[in-house]
Structure 1
Amino acid sequence: MLTNVWRTLDKILTDLRSLPFTSNTPLRGIRGEGCKDIRRHLHCGNAFVLLINKLHPPALLYRIVFTYGDLRPDNITVEMAEDYSYIITGLIDWEYSRFYLEYYKAAKSTNCLSPYEEDDWYLFLPDCVSPKRYAYWWLLDRVRETRVV
């Protein structure tokens, strides 16, 4: 039964990721607001930033897609149908939704995951935003996050 929810969520997110992005414009939200990174208040050494920036390939290799910014169970509304299956009825909390590089959501989808996490939600992330799909970027972001002080 929950497989249907997972498939539906993957379809919703895939459809959102197909919204057109105007070339040669800054990454932004639908209304022109800038990108947000919840870690923007953190600082790290310049040498560390320079090294991390040298480790990744040019962003030009990736598409720019619309990204639902706060994917977590609390923001997915679900109802039970008469046949006892579950139906996604909506996504709430669009504050961090923007156009980002396609791997961004995979890197950010596990921001709250720690080595001691018992919530298995992270194991069921939809394919289109799964860390499995963008493993390199996910790992690089985790290194950056654990070293930023």
Structure 2
Amino acid sequence: MPQTNPSCSVPTLESTFRVKIEELWPLEIPRRAVLAVSGGADSTAMALLARNAVPDFFDRLAIAHFHHHMREEEAEEDARFVENFARQLDLPFVRGDWRPEELRSFHRVDRNLQAAARKARYAFLFDVARSQSSAVLFTAHHAR
């Protein structure tokens, strides 16, 4: 049962996260996960929850960040932020880079820039998960 905030009867986010992780995680899967962190509020909060709400649950966590090089200076700041954030959490950091010029290497049907960038990002994230022997990849996105 999730813990509740003493000032009200609503379960805390941390306790709800912990209960859900423990409920949903299959016993036979090693407790290793890759956290896809963009530097935005959603993925940063997700990483903090995974690291702090269930600190004794995971055998291994790693942070992966993918730099699309589509917002050059701002995106570089995001990459530096995520690398420093991973260091503060004492988690391994893996960075992937992809440049829009690489779009030429995609099949004609995939030449939509956003779709190609997403395809490259997930290919990178799955590679990181494999390299970390993790069957689980966490992502965080908000609804628009």
Does TM, normalized by the shorter one, top 0.5? no
Decide which structure has greater helix share.
Answer: 2
**Interval containing the TM-score (normalised by the shorter chain):** under 0.3
| TM-score computed with the length of structure 1 as normaliser | 0.23
TM-score (norm 2): 0.24
